[in-house]
Structure formats: C-alpha cells, structure tokens
Amino acid sequence: MATPNYAYEKRQRELAKKRKAEEKRQRKQDRDAPSPATPDAATPAPPPGSEPSAG
C-alpha cells in the first residue's frame, strides 16, 4: 500500500477553504449591492407603434 501524501491533502484542504471563502465573499458582495434582476425592467421597451419600419 502506498503512503499517504499529506502535503497534497493539506494543499487540497487549503484550496477548498479558499474556494469556499471566495464564494462566501461573492455572495456577501451580491447581497450588499444587489443588481437589477432583469435589465429589461430598468429600460422600458418602446411602444409597439414607434418601431421604425424596415423596407
């Protein structure tokens, strides 16, 4: 049986911890500064009759 590579395991734990912390930071940032859910709601569509006709 091969011996365990403790340095590799430790590195993987550290990477997982950093990844989790980054995801948490991103969620916290999104929660603190919410962006509009739909960009269409911020910019109203023009009325149907005002569209230029092609032709």
Task: Please give the model's pTM, rounded to 2 decimal places.
Answer: 0.50
pLDDT in tens, 9-23: 999 999 999 999 999
Query: Mean pLDDT across the chain, nearest whole number?
Result: 82
Is 42 within 8 Å of 36 (Cβ atoms)? yes
* pLDDT in the model for residue 33: 83
